[in-house]
């Protein structure tokens, strides 16, 4: 009888399979003993990915939270994966839709949730997450963040940029005067121009819009913000990563990253040539400070070329798109609520006479202006889903067990509409802030458009200064109306998808010089 030959790898494969099944069973059994947050029903393979929505996930998550609660566990893919060399677990995401749970994540367990997940788009577009926003939490991150804050975003620095803000605001006023009358003013474009030029001059020493390279950079930046807002299924289900190659997502990432890199490399080389052989005051512009660090001439930290570009990109992203978006939504709400606009104009014009320029001291007295901006940011946070966080270890949040490797998405848009924190949450009512100490500086978790805790945005002071000045200028010097035939209640407030959420339709209005 012929002897049967058995492939020696078959027993090993069977043994490995049995071991895998045993580990999975043990893990599932141990997981069943945990108290997990509520979770909506999920589909095989994709889990809850289909419930995020393809374009405006902050709205989809808000709807789910109404059914399942403010702390909700979502499953992104149903195949167990290995996370951070620990054990087999499912790729999960925790969504936060209330101030109470946001405080738990950002304060009580801040260090546990201080890291960032690394998605494909972030890795491609932001130089392998070498920037301050996405860099892993640790000593190196703390040093880089302190440089950004001290050299660009401190109160002293922000005050030193006041002349730049005033000059750029005056240019916007001049443009409005030239187009006032029967011609509609494209406020969306003007807000974008203002924020780009203020940050360009403050950080880089010049306007990007003045050069061909700069214009290409601004175009690439618009694409970057859209791509960062796209949920790529390959980030959660690895074996479906090929979809990004088929639908063109990977190609768009590569193209945008290449365009951004070409411009940033050009900016760096130009600044290095300008500085070569010329004695300048160190730190005149933020790029100069970074170049000094890159050349190891100042400060006790070193950065490589890609890190240099990533930080420059960080400063520009954080200081332009979010500011212009916030002004766009604030003015949209004012045009929808003429009574609020009239009340605000009375305040501004009462503090500053028509022919005088607005000073920082004047702005400090404009309490209703600050209330209007807060209310607009409550309803329209520029980044509705804050930059996601990652649990670095197993932790309990208000009695719920959260596993290491869980992605945390904080829905600032939903928190701003939470009836537990806000009366009449869907109503634009700035008066709610007049006798309230609530602010958006990261300490009041009912209002967190800039985040909070260690990973909160450090540019709040810079953003507020620019927004307050330009809005006050426009309301002091002009009366505003929608185009003829458009009623305030009919103004299109549709949102455009992306990491930063703009209006779908640019905001246009008719301006007439105040009398």
Q: Is residue 323 part of a domain?
A: yes
Written as six digits, the tokens of 459 are: 């540019």
Helix (H) or strand (E) holding 398, with range, is: none
Q: What was the pLDDT predicted at 32?
A: 55
Q: Is residue 18 part of a domain?
A: no
Number of domains making up the chain: 1
Secondary structure E strands in 306-425: 389-390, 395-397, 400-402, 407-410
| C-alpha dihedral sign at 239, 240, 241, 245 | positive
Q: Is residue 20 part of a domain?
A: no
For residue 212, what is the domain's CATH number?
1.10.630.10
Segments forming the whole domain that contains residue 466:
34-513
Written as six digits, the tokens of 354 are: 């028509």
Q: Is residue 15 part of a domain?
A: no
Mean pLDDT of the region 403-412 = 93
**What are 252-263's pLDDT values in tens digits?**
999 999 999 998
Helix (H) or strand (E) holding 478, with range, is: strand 478-481
Model confidence at 21: pLDDT above 60: no
Query: The pTM is what?
Result: 0.87
Written as six digits, the tokens of 18 are: 């049995």
Cβ neighbours, 10 Å, residue 228: 20
For the chain, the average pLDDT equals 85
Q: Residue 289 — pLDDT band, cuts 50, 70, 90? A: confident
Q: What was the pLDDT predicted at 355?
A: 63
Higher pLDDT, 429 or 42: 429
Q: What was the pLDDT predicted at 84?
A: 32
**What are 447-506's pLDDT values in tens digits?**
999 999 999 988 888 889 999 999 999 999 999 999 887 899 999 999 998 889 999 999
Q: What was the pLDDT predicted at 90?
A: 43
Q: What was the pLDDT predicted at 3?
A: 44
CA 333 to CA 489: how far, in whole Å?
10
Q: Is residue 14 part of a domain?
A: no
**What are 22-41's pLDDT values in tens digits?**
555 544 554 557 899 999 99
Secondary structure E strands in 41-150: 71-75, 81-82, 88-89, 92-96
Annotate 147-205 with three-state secondary structure. HHHHHHHCHHHHHHCHHHHHHHHHHHHHHHHHHCCCCCEEHHHHHHHHHHHHHHHHHHC
Q: What was the pLDDT predicted at 10?
A: 46
**DSSP codes of every residue in 406-433:** -EEEEBHHHHTT-TTT-SSTTS--GGGG
Q: Residue 149 — pLDDT band, cuts 50, 70, 90? A: confident
Model confidence at 424: pLDDT above 50: yes
Mean pLDDT of the region 73-101 = 65
**What are 227-283's pLDDT values in tens digits?**
887 878 888 777 788 889 999 999 999 999 999 999 888 888 888 887 665 544 444
Q: What was the pLDDT predicted at 19?
A: 53
Four-CA torsion 288, 294, 295, 297, nearest 10 degrees: 70
**What are 167-211's pLDDT values in tens digits?**
999 999 999 998 867 789 999 999 999 999 998 888 877 887 777
CA 392 to CA 96: how far, in whole Å?
17
Q: Is 440:383 a contact under the CB 8 Å cutoff? A: no
**What are 434-444's pLDDT values in tens digits?**
999 999 988 99
Q: Is residue 260 part of a domain?
A: yes
CA distances from 123 to 137, 147, 213, 264 (A): 16, 23, 24, 17
Q: What was the pLDDT predicted at 334?
A: 98
Short-list 376, 371, 459, 456, CA closest to 416: 376
CA 115 to CA 499: how far, in whole Å?
19
Question: Rg of the Cα trace of the chain?
Answer: 25
Q: Is residue 507 part of a domain?
A: yes
Q: Is 359:473 a contact under the CB 8 Å cutoff? A: no
Mean pLDDT of the region 139-163 = 87
**What are 329-385's pLDDT values in tens digits?**
999 999 999 999 999 999 999 999 766 889 989 999 999 999 999 999 999 999 999
Q: Is residue 22 part of a domain?
A: no
Residue identified by tokens 């426009």 is 474
Q: What was the pLDDT predicted at 303?
A: 85
CA 100 to CA 106: how far, in whole Å?
10
Q: What was the pLDDT predicted at 13?
A: 47
């Amino acid at each position: 009888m012929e002897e049967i030959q058995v492939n020696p790898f078959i027993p090993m494969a069977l043994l490995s399979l049995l071991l895998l099944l045993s580990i999975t069973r043990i893990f599932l059994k141990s997981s069943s003993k945990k108290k997990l947050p509520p979770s909506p029903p999920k589909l095989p393979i994709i889990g809850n990915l289909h419930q995020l929505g393809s374009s405006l996930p902050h709205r989809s998550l808000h709807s789910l939270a109404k059914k399942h609660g403010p702390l909700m566990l979502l499953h992104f893919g149903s195949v167990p994966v290995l996370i951070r060399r620990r054990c087999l677990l499912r790729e999960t995401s925790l969504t936060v839709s209330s101030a109470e749970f946001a405080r738990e994540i950002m304060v009580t367990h801040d260090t546990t949730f201080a890291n960032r997940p690394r998605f494909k788009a972030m890795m491609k577009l932001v130089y392998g997450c070498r920037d301050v926003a996405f860099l892993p939490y640790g000593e190196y991150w703390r040093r880089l963040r302190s440089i950004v804050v001290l050299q660009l975003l401190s109160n002293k620095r922000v005050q030193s940029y006041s002349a730049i803000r005033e000059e750029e605001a005056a240019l916007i006023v001049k443009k409005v005067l030239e187009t006032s009358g029967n011609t509609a003013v494209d406020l969306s474009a003007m807000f974008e121009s203002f924020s780009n030029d203020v940050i360009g001059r403050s950080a880089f020493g010049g306007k990007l819009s003045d050069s061909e390279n700069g214009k290409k950079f601004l175009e690439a930046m618009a694409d970057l913000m859209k791509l960062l807002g796209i949920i790529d299924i390959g980030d959660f289900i690895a074996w479906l990563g090929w979809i990004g190659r088929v639908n063109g997502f990977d190609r768009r990432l590569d193209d945008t990253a290449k365009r951004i890199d070409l411009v940033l490399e050009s900016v760096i080389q130009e600044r290095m040539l300008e500085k070569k052989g010329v004695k300048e005051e160190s730190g005149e512009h933020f790029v100069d400070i970074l170049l000094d660090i890159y050349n190891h001439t100042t400060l006790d930290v070193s950065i490589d070329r890609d890190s240099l570009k990533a930080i420059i990109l960080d400063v520009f992203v954080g200081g332009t798109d979010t500011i212009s978006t916030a002004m766009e939504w604030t003015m949209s709400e004012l045009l929808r609520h003429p009574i609020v606009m009239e009340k605000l104009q009375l305040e501004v014009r009462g503090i500053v006479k028509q022919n005088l320029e607005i000073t920082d001291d004047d702005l400090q007295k404009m309490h209703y202006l600050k209330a209007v901006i807060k209310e607009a940011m409550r309803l329209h946070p520029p980044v509705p889903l804050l930059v996601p966080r990652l649990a670095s270890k197993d932790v309990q949040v208000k009695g719920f067990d959260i596993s290491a490797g869980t992605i945390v998405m904080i829905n600032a848009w939903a928190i701003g509409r939470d009836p537990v924190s806000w009366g009449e949450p869907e109503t634009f009512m700035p008066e709610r802030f007049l006798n309230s100490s609530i602010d958006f500086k990261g300490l009041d978790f009912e209002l967190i458009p800039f985040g909070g805790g260690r990973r909160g945005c450090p540019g709040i002071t810079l953003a507020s200064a620019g927004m307050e000045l330009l809005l006050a200028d426009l309301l002091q010097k002009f009366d505003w109306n929608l185009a003829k035939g458009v009623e305030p209640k009919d103004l299109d407030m549709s949102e455009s998808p992306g990491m930063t959420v703009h209006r779908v339709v640019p905001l246009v209005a008719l301006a007439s010089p105040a009398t």
